[in-house]
Chains A and B, each alone.
Chain A
Amino acid sequence: MSVLVIGIGNKYRSDDAVGLEIADSLSECNIKNCTIQRSSGEGIALINLWEDFDHVILIDAVKSDSKAGTIHTIDLSKESLQTDFFQTSSHLFALPEAVQLAKTLDKLPKTMLVYGIEGKNFDYGTELSPEVLKAKIELTDRIKTELLELSFNILS
Chain B
Amino acid sequence: MPTVKNLKMKVSSMSKSNTKIINVDYLARVEGEGSLYLKIKDNKVQDVKFKIFEPPRFFEAFLRDRHYSEAPDITARICGICPVAYQMGAVHAMENALGLTINDNLRELRRLIYCGEWIESHVLHVYMLHAPDFLGYQDAIQMAKDHPDVVNEGLRLKKIGNELVTLLGGREIHPINVRVGGFYKLPTKKDFHSLLENLKWARTAAHSMIKLTSSLEYPDFQQDYEFVALRHPDEYPFNEGRLVSNRGLDIDVSDFEKHFEEEHVEHSTSLHCKLKERGKYKVGPLARYSLNFDKFSPEVQKAAKDAGLKEECYNPFQSIIVRAVEVLHAVNESIRIIENYKEPKSPYIEIDPKESVGYACTEAPRGICYHRYNLDSEGLITDANIVPPTSQNQNSIESDLRELIPLIIDLPDEEITWKCEQAIRNYDPCISCSCHFLKVTIDRE
Binding site for B on A (CB under 8 A): 10-12, 16, 37-45, 47-48, 51, 63, 83-84, 87-93, 96-97, 100-101, 104-105, 107, 122-124
Contact = CB atoms under 8 A, between A and B. Distances in A.
Contacts of B171: 37-38
A48 B174 contact: no
A87 B30 CA distance: 15
Contacts of B144: 101, 104-105
A66 B32 CA distance: 25
A13 to B, nearest CB: 8
B7 A48 contact: no
A100 B173 CA distance: 22
Contacts of A96: 7
B151 interface: yes
Nearest to B142: A104
B3 interface: yes
B28 interface: yes
B7 A97 contact: yes
Interface stretch (B154-162, B193-201, B365-373): B154-162
Contacts of A38: 171, 173-174
Given A11-B77, A93-B129, A83 B2 contact: no
Interface in B26-51: 28-33
A93 B81 contact: no
Which A-B residue pairs are the 10 nearest by beta carbons?
Answer: A40-B80, A90-B432, A124-B58, A48-B159, A88-B2, A104-B144, A122-B2, A40-B173, A83-B7, A100-B141
Nearest to A126: B62
Contacts of B14: none
Given A44-B158, A83-B7, A101 B77 contact: no
Contacts of A48: 155, 158-159, 162, 172
B124 A84 contact: no
A10 B2 contact: no
Chain B CB within 10 Å, residue with most, of A16, A89, A93, A96? A93
A27 B390 CA distance: 36
Contact of B55 (A40, A100, A107, A124): A124
Contacts of A83: 5-7
Contacts of B30: 92
B173 A39 contact: yes
Contact of A44 (B28, B62, B124, B139): B124
Contacts of A105: 144, 148, 151-152, 155
Contacts of B148: 104-105
A100 B139 CA distance: 11
Nearest to B56: A124
Contacts of A107: 155
Contacts of A92: 5, 28-32, 129
Interface of B: 1-7, 28-33, 55-56, 58-59, 62, 77, 80-81, 120, 124, 128-129, 139-141, 144-145, 148, 151-152, 154-155, 158-159, 162, 171-174, 432, 436
Contacts of A104: 141, 144-145, 148
A89 B59 CA distance: 18
A93 B158 CA distance: 14
A16 B273 CA distance: 30
A95 to B, nearest CB: 11
B66 to A, nearest CB: 13
A97 B5 CA distance: 12
A122 B4 CA distance: 13
Contacts of B5: 83-84, 87, 92
A83 B1 CA distance: 18
Given A101-B140, A105-B144, A90 B58 contact: no
A93 B29 contact: yes
A76 to B, nearest CB: 16
A97 B77 contact: no
A63 B1 CA distance: 12
Given A48-B155, A91-B81, A92-B32, 9 more contacts: A12-B77, A40-B174, A44-B155, A48-B158, A83-B7, A101-B141, A104-B145, A105-B151, A122-B1
A41 B2 CA distance: 14
Contacts of A87: 2-5
A104 to B, nearest CB: 5
18 contacts: A39-B173, A40-B173, A42-B80, A42-B173, A44-B155, A48-B159, A89-B2, A90-B32, A92-B29, A96-B7, A100-B141, A101-B140, A105-B152, A107-B155, A122-B2, A123-B55, A124-B55, A124-B62
B1 A123 contact: yes
A47 B145 CA distance: 17
Contacts of A88: 2
Chain A CB within 10 Å, residue with most, of B4, B5, B158? B5
A97 B81 CA distance: 16
Contacts of B29: 92-93
Contacts of A63: 2
